[in-house]
C-alpha cells in the first residue's frame, strides 16, 4: 500500500508530549526528537522498532500513542487505529487518544465505532467542541450517504499513478489541459519527505487528445519543479501565469512554504519568481503560505497561511488588485464565516464567484470535507457542506470547476487501497417532464394527431404529435424557458409556455392543457360587456379581447369577422344598429392594438341569429339541452324569469369566425417578379 499526503505544506504544527523521563533509551530519545520536529516517518520507524522491547505499560502506552499520532499525520488511518487502540489498552492518559482514534475510525467510514470515542472525549474534555461536533458528524454523514446529491464521482485512472495525485487545476479557460500535483517516481527530487513519508511533489500536466482522452501526464516543461515540494497551483484565465506553492527544506532552519509564480514563454514555463506581498502582510510573520487560487477575473488571489494573526490553524486569506498591472493589496483574513480554529485548505473559485475550500473544523463526513461558500447581501459568507458523494468518509479536497459544465475534478483518498487520487465529478441532470393535453375549446374533446412544437430559449426544439387521447409528453432541460405551439388543420393555432428556471426538484412534472378553437364556426368571445344600450366597451372586456389579439398574432394568416348579437327585446332596427356599433367597437380596439384593418370585418346581426346551445352550455344550465335554439318563442315558453334572463344573456354575445386563412400569401416580395 502506498503512503499518502494531502498537504503540500511540509511545516506542520509541532506537538510536544510528555515523555517517560530518564528511563528512555537513546532510540527513544531520538524517536521523540524526530516526533517533536515533525519528522513523522523517521519517528514512526523508530517507534515500531522500540515497541517490542518496551517493558513497562506506561512505556508501551506512550510508544503506541506516538506511533499512532505519526500514522495520523502520515494519513494512514488503518495503522492509526491499530496503534491508538493499543494506547487505550495500555491506559494512556491523554484524552486526545480518544479524539484521534475517533477521527481515524471516521476516515475508515466506521461511524458507529467513532461515536464511542467521540463520546469518551466529550466526557473528558467537555469544553472542546470537537467531541460534540464529531458525534454530530457521525450522525449527519450517514444521512448524507443514504441521501446523496445529484453529483456523480468517478476516478480518473489514466491520470492517477500508484503514488499521490491531487490538487487539479485547469489551464485557465482551456479545460483540455489540466495541471496537478504528484509524488510519483518521475518527480525531480531524489529523496523521501521525512514529514509525510512520500516522495517530494512536483507539478505535472496532461492534455486531452483528439478523442477527448487524457494523455499520460508529464512534468511541466521549464524550471518550476525543484528537488523539494512544488504544487497546488492555479493558472490565469489566459493560461500565461501560473501561481504555485514551493516548500524548500533548509537544514537547521524552518523555511516554511511560499507562493511563487511563473510566466509561460514559448513552449515552457519561465524561471519562478517569489510573489511579493506588501510589508504589512503575513510575509513577515507567517510560517507558511500556500495553496493559491486565482479568481475568474484574475483580480483576487486566495491562499492559506498559519499567520499567528489568523483565527487558528491554517486560515484562508486573500489579496486583491485593481487590474492585472497593479500591485497586490495587503492580505485580508476571510474571517470567522470561513475560518475556524482548525485548518482551512485548498481554496478554489468558480465562474460565478463562489468560493470552495476544505476543512476538518466543521461538522462533516470525516477528515477534510469540501465546502461551498457564497457571499451574503451586505457582506460575509454562507457556508454549506457539499455532502455525499462529493465528500466521503476520507479526505476530500482540491476541487476545480469546468466553467462550461456542471462538473470538474477533485482530490480524495477515499479508496481503501490507494492514497490521493484525482476524481471527475459531474451533476446528474434533473428529471423534468412536461405532460400536456390538447383540447377542443368548444366541446372540450381531446384532439389527436396535433402537431406540437416545443422551442427552448437554449435553441432546442422538439416536434411531436398528440396520441389518441390528445396527450403528449417530453423531457425538459434545466434553466430553460419553453414556448409550446400547437397546429392542426381546421383549428386555430394555440400556444403556451413553461419555464424550468429555478427548479430544484428531481422528478418535477409540469402539466398543461392547450385549447384549440375550430376555425370553421363562430366562436363566442367570453366576458365582453357594454353599458346598457350603448356600444362602448367596458374596461373588463379588454382582457378577453387581449386574448383574441394573441390568437390573431399567432395565426397571422387569417382574416376574421367580428359579430355582435342582441336579445329580442327592443325593435329590430334598433337592435341591428346597436349590434353593428358594438361589433365596430371591438374592431376599433383590435386596430388600436396593432391588428391590421384589412384582417377585420365588423358585422351586427341584431336578434336575427339566436344562440344555439352547445355541450358546455348544457352542462352549465341543466334546463337547456344541446341544440336548443334560444328564439323568442323558446324563451317565452320557459317557466321562470330567472331562466329567461339566462337565455337573454346568452343571446347577447360577441363572436368571431375565420373568413379566410390565406392572408398575406399573395403579396410580391421586393425584387421578385
For residue 24 the three cell numbers come to 528512555
Average pLDDT over residues 326-331: 92
Look at residue 10 and tell me whether its pLDDT is greater than 50: no
Q: At what angle do helices 129-146 and 96-107 cross, to 10 degrees?
A: 10
Within 10 A of 366 (CB to CB), how many other CB atoms are there? 28
Instruction: Break the chain down into helix, strand, coil percent, rounded to 5.
Output: 25, 30, 45
Of 5-14, 77-86, 449-458, 542-551, least confident by mean pLDDT is 5-14
pLDDT in tens, 55-110: 899 999 999 999 999 999 988 999 999 999 999 999 999 999 999 999 999 999 99
Band of the pLDDT at 197, cuts 50, 70, 90?
Answer: low
Contact 562, 551 (CB under 8 A): no
User: What does DSSP assign to residue 37?
Assistant: T
Question: What is the structure's pLDDT at 397?
Answer: 97
Question: What is the structure's pLDDT at 8?
Answer: 44
Residue 96 C-beta-side C-alpha neighbours within 13 Å = 12
Contact 583, 600 (CB under 8 A): no
Contact 228, 212 (CB under 8 A): no
For residue 169 the three cell numbers come to 487545476
Average pLDDT over residues 7-32: 57
Question: What is the structure's pLDDT at 164?
Answer: 93
Look at residue 11 and tell me whether its pLDDT is greater than 50: no
Average pLDDT over residues 438-456: 95
Of 83-87, 105-109, 525-529, 649-653, least confident by mean pLDDT is 525-529
Look at residue 192 and tell me whether its pLDDT is greater than 80: no
| Residue closest to 533 by CA, chosen among 599, 482, 473, 578 | 578
| Residue closest to 262 by CA, chosen among 303, 219, 296, 233 | 233
DSSP sequence for 201-223: PEEEEEEB-TTSPBPPPEEPSBS
Look at residue 25 and tell me whether its pLDDT is greater than 70: yes
User: What does DSSP assign to residue 459?
Assistant: S
pLDDT in tens, 212-222: 999 999 999 99
CB neighbour list of residue 629: distance below 8 Å, 6 or more residues apart:
610, 611, 612, 613
Average pLDDT over residues 268-296: 77
Band of the pLDDT at 656, cuts 50, 70, 90?
Answer: very high
Alpha helices in 276-428 (DSSP H): none
CA separation for the pair 412, 586 (Å, rounded): 70
For residue 104 the three cell numbers come to 481515524
Within 10 A of 502 (CB to CB), how many other CB atoms are there? 7
The residue extents of the domains of the chain are 151-350+388-427, 432-516, 523-611+653-660
Task: State the fold for domain 432-516.
Answer: Immunoglobulin-like (2.60.40)
pLDDT cut 90: percent of the chain above it = 78
Question: What is the structure's pLDDT at 449?
Answer: 97
pLDDT in tens, 469-503: 999 999 999 999 999 999 999 999 999 999 999 99
Band of the pLDDT at 278, cuts 50, 70, 90?
Answer: low
For residue 497 the three cell numbers come to 409556455
| Residue closest to 226 by CA, chosen among 4, 5, 8, 6 | 8
Question: What is the structure's pLDDT at 601?
Answer: 96
Look at residue 554 and tell me whether its pLDDT is greater than 50: yes
Within 10 A of 361 (CB to CB), how many other CB atoms are there? 21
Band of the pLDDT at 395, cuts 50, 70, 90?
Answer: very high
Look at residue 416 and tell me whether its pLDDT is greater than 80: no
Q: How far is CA 229 from CA 3, 279, 457, 489, 540, in A?
A: 16, 26, 49, 74, 77
Question: What is the structure's pLDDT at 530?
Answer: 83
Helix H or strand E encompassing 320: strand 315-320
Question: What is the structure's pLDDT at 254?
Answer: 63
Rg of the chain's alpha carbons, rounded to an integer? 38
Beta-bridge partner residues of 504: none
Q: Which residue has the higher pLDDT, 9 or 390?
A: 390
Look at residue 23 and tell me whether its pLDDT is greater than 60: no
Question: What is the structure's pLDDT at 378?
Answer: 86
Helix H or strand E encompassing 61: helix 57-73
Look at residue 670 and tell me whether its pLDDT is greater than 50: no
Q: In what order do the strands lie in the sheet with 315-320?
A: 289-294, 300-305, 315-320, 332-333
Question: What CATH superfamily is the domain 523-611+653-660?
Answer: OmpA-like domain (3.30.1330.60)
DSSP sequence for 112-176: HHHHHHHHHHHHH-TT-HHHHHHHHHHHHHHHHHHS--SEEEEE-TTT--SS-EEEEEEETTEEE
Question: What is the structure's pLDDT at 478?
Answer: 93
Look at residue 37 and tell me whether its pLDDT is greater than 90: no
Within 10 A of 304 (CB to CB), how many other CB atoms are there? 31
Band of the pLDDT at 195, cuts 50, 70, 90?
Answer: low
pLDDT cut 70: percent of the chain above it = 92
DSSP sequence for 285-311: T-S-EEEEEE-TTSSEEEEEE--TTSS
CATH 2.60.40 given to domain 151-350+388-427: no
Which of helix, strand or coil describes residue 26? Answer: helix
Band of the pLDDT at 283, cuts 50, 70, 90?
Answer: very low
Look at residue 7 and tell me whether its pLDDT is greater than 50: no
CA separation for the pair 533, 669 (Å, rounded): 47
Look at residue 22 and tell me whether its pLDDT is greater than 60: no
Contact 10, 196 (CB under 8 A): yes
Amino acid at each position: 500500500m502506498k503512503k499518502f499526503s494531502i498537504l503540500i505544506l511540509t511545516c506542520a504544527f509541532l506537538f510536544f508530549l510528555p515523555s517517560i523521563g530518564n528511563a528512555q533509551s537513546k532510540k527513544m530519545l531520538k524517536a521523540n526528537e524526530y516526533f517533536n520536529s515533525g519528522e513523522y516517518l523517521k519517528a514512526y520507524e523508530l517507534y515500531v522498532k522500540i515497541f517490542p522491547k518496551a517493558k513497562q505499560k506506561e512505556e508501551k502506552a506512550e510508544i503506541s500513542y506516538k506511533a499512532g499520532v505519526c500514522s495520523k499525520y502520515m494519513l494512514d488511518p488503518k495503522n492509526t487505529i491499530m496503534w491508538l487502540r493499543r494506547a487505550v489498552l495500555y491506559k494512556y492518559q491523554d484524552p486526545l487518544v480518544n479524539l484521534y482514534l475517533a477521527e481515524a475510525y471516521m476516515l475508515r467510514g466506521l461511524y458507529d465505532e467513532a461515536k464511542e470515542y467521540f463520546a469518551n472525549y466529550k466526557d473528558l474534555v467537555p469544553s472542546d467542541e470537537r467531541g460534540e461536533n464529531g458525534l454530530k458528524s457521525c450522525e449527519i454523514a450517514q444521512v448524507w450517504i443514504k441521501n446523496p446529491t445529484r453529483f456523480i464521482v468517478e476516478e480518473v485512472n489514466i491520470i492517477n499513478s500508484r503514488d499521490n495525485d491531487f490538487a487539479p487545476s485547469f489551464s485557465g479557460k482551456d479545460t483540455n489541459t489540466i495541471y496537478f500535483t504528484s509524488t510519483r517516481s518521475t518527480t525531480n527530487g531524489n529523496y523521501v519527505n521525512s514529514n509525510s513519508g512520500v516522495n517530494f511533489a512536483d507539478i505535472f500536466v496532461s492534455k486531452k487528445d483528439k478523442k477527448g482522452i487524457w494523455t499520460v501526464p508529464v512534468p511541466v516543461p521549464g524550471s518550476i519543479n525543484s528537488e523539494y515540494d512544488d504544487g497546488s497551483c492555479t493558472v490565469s484565465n489566459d493560461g500565461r501565469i501560473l501561481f504555485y506553492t514551493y516548500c524548500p527544506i533548509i537544514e537547521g532552519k524552518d523555511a516554511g512554504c511560499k507562493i511563487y509564480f511563473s510566466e509561460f514563454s514559448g513552449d515552457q514555463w519561465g524561471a519562478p519568481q517569489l510573489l511579493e506581498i506588501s510589508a504589512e502582510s503575513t510575509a513577515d510573520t507567517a510560517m507558511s503560505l500556500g495553496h493559491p487560487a486565482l479568481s475568474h477575473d484574475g483580480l483576487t488571489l486566495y491562499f492559506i497561511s498559519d499567520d499567528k494573526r489568523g483565527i487558528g490553524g491554517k486560515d484562508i486569506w486573500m489579496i486583491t488588485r485593481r487590474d492585472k498591472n497593479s500591485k497586490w493589496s495587503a492580505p485580508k483574513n476571510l474571517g470567522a464565516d470561513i475560518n475556524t480554529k482548525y485548518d482551512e485548505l485548498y481554496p478554489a473559485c468558480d465562474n460565478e464567484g463562489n468560493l470552495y475550500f476544505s476543512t476538518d473544523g466543521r461538522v462533516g463526513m470525516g477528515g477534510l470535507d469540501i465546502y461551498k461558500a457564497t457571499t451574503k447581501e451586505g457582506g460575509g459568507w454562507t457556508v454549506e457542506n457539499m455532502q455525499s458523494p462529493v465528500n466521503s468518509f476520507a479526505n476530500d479536497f482540491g476541487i476545480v470547476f469546468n466553467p462550461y459544465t456542471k462538473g470538474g475534478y477533485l482530490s480524495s483518498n477515499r479508496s481503501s487501497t490507494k492514497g490521493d487520487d484525482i476524481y471527475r465529478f459531474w451533476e446528474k441532470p434533473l428529471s423534468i417532464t412536461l405532460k400536456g393535453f390538447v383540447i377542443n375549446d368548444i366541446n372540450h374533446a381531446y384532439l389527436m394527431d396535433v402537431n406540437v412544437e416545443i422551442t427552448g430559449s437554449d435553441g432546442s426544439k422538439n416536434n411531436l404529435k398528440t396520441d389518441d387521447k390528445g396527450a403528449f409528453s417530453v423531457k425538459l432541460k434545466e434553466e430553460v424557458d419553453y414556448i409550446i405551439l400547437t397546429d392542426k388543420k381546421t383549428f386555430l393555432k394555440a400556444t403556451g409556455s413553461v419555464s424550468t428556471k429555478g427548479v430544484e426538484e428531481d422528478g418535477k412534472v409540469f402539466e398543461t392543457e392547450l385549447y384549440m378553437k375550430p376555425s370553421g364556426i363562430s366562436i363566442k368571445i367570453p366576458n365582453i360587456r357594454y353599458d346598457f344600450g350603448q356600444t362602448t366597451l367596458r374596461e373588463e372586456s379588454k382582457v378577453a379581447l387581449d386574448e383574441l389579439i394573441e390568437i390573431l398574432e399567432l395565426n397571422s394568416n387569417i382574416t376574421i369577422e367580428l359579430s355582435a348579437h342582441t336579445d329580442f327585446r327592443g325593435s329590430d332596427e334598433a337592435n341591428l344598429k346597436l349590434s353593428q356599433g358594438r361589433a365596430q367597437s371591438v374592431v376599433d380596439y383590435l386596430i388600436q392594438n396593432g391588428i391590421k384593418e384589412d384582417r377585420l370585418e365588423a358585422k351586427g346581426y341584431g336578434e336575427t341569429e339566436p344562440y344555439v346551445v352547445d355541450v358546455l352550455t348544457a352542462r352549465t344550465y341543466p334546463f337547456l339541452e344541446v341544440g336548443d335554439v334560444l328564439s323568442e318563442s323558446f324563451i317565452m315558453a320557459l317557466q321562470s324569469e330567472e331562466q329567461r334572463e339566462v337565455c337573454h344573456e346568452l343571446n347577447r354575445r360577441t363572436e368571431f369566425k375565420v373568413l379566410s386563412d390565406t392572408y398575406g400569401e399573395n403579396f410580391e416580395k421586393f425584387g421578385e417578379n
